[in-house]
Homo-oligomer: A and B are copies of this chain.
Amino acid sequence: MTKNLRLKAARAKLDMSQHELADAVDVTRQTISAIERGDYNPSIKLCIRICKVLNVTLNDLFWEEN
């Protein structure tokens, strides 16, 4: 799997730590960390919660062209 740097960047843009984002979407810090590292494959509902907290859309963080 491949790292999700767009997620990391969107979080950085709001100056949120992994821990803060995790709390905001109600998962553990390890889950956010694993998603950013590309270590797994979150559910669509979790992706949507993350996007809403970060004020972006699914396409912004998770859509891959080509």
Residues of A within 8 A of B (CB): 41-45, 47-48, 51, 57-59, 62-64
CB-based closest 10 A-B pairs: A58-B58, A59-B59, A41-B43, A58-B63, A41-B45, A44-B47, A57-B59, A58-B59, A44-B62, A57-B63
Residues of B within 8 A of A48 (CB): 62-64
Question: Secondary structure of the A side of the interface?
Answer: helix
How many angstroms from the CA of A44 to the CA of B64 in the assembled complex?
Answer: 11
Taking each of A41, A43, A59, A63, which has the highest tally of chain B beta carbons within 10 Å of its own beta carbon?
A: A63
How many angstroms from the CA of A43 to the CA of B43 in the assembled complex?
Answer: 4
Taking each of A44, A47, A63, which has the highest tally of chain B beta carbons within 10 Å of its own beta carbon?
A: A44
